[in-house]
């Protein structure tokens, strides 16, 4: 058995959720926050049999798309701690960041 941990942009969550429910694939959604952008995203925990992994990965890739987002990080100006200049940069947020890990044991009580 595998646990698929997928960090998904909020905009893609309902489409992916609907697809997983439609295919009777169990999933848990956790509200999460990206460490870089500090914006909300959603982390799916999806427990599946080994032979289902490729199918679930294809559902994720079909339902999640990469987007460019303008962000305005604050950068220090010179040596003056209180002076900052901000300039927008474009960051591409992937369709999904996915980890597949082996599950040693699975129980439901
Ligand atoms: P964030 O950490 O908010 O990152 C959003 C996007 O910002 C990233 O998209 C990447 O394109 C960019 N980015 C991240 N760190 C950067 C840096 N130090 N310098 C410049 N640009 C940077 P993705 O790579 O598609 O990641 C989307 C979200 O997936 C991340 O949101 C984070 O929540 C999660 N994630 C990405 N890599 C991860 C990892 N190795 N471990 C755990 N979660 C991860």
Does residue 41 fall inside a structural domain? yes
What is residue 77's predicted lDDT score, i.e. its pLDDT? 59
What is residue 72's predicted lDDT score, i.e. its pLDDT? 79
Does residue 28 fall inside a structural domain? yes
Nearest-CA residue for ligand 1 atom 37 is: 97
Q: How many domains does the chain have?
A: 1
- Given a contact cutoff of 8 angstroms between Cβ atoms, the answer to whether 25 and 46 are in contact is yes
Does residue 9 fall inside a structural domain? yes
Question: What is the number of the ligand 1 atom nearest to the C-alpha of 66?
Answer: 25
- 108 vs 87: which has the higher pLDDT: 108
Instruction: Render pLDDT for 22-80 as a digit per residue (tens, 0 to 9).
Output: 999 999 999 999 998 888 999 999 999 999 999 999 999 999 999 998 887 765 555 55
The CATH code of the domain that includes 91 is 3.30.70.120
Is it the case that residue 105 has pLDDT exceeding 70? Answer: yes
Does residue 15 fall inside a structural domain? yes
- Dist. CA 28–CA 3, nearest whole Å: 11
Question: What is the number of the ligand 1 atom nearest to the C-alpha of 95?
Answer: 25
Q: Which domain holds residue 16?
A: 2-74+86-102
């Amino acid at each position: 058995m595998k646990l698929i941990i997928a960090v998904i942009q909020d905009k893609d969550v309902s489409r992916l959720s609907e697809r997983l429910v439609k295919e009777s694939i169990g999933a848990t959604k956790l509200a999460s926050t990206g460490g870089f952008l500090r914006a909300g995203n959603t982390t799916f925990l999806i427990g599946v049999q080994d032979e289902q992994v490729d199918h679930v990965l294809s559902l994720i890739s079909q339902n999640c798309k990469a987007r460019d987002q303008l962000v305005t990080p604050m950068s220090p100006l010179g040596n003056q701690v209180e002076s900052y200049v901000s300039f927008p940069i474009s960051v591409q947020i992937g369709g999904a960041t996915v980890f597949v890990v082996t599950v040693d044991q699975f129980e439901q009580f």
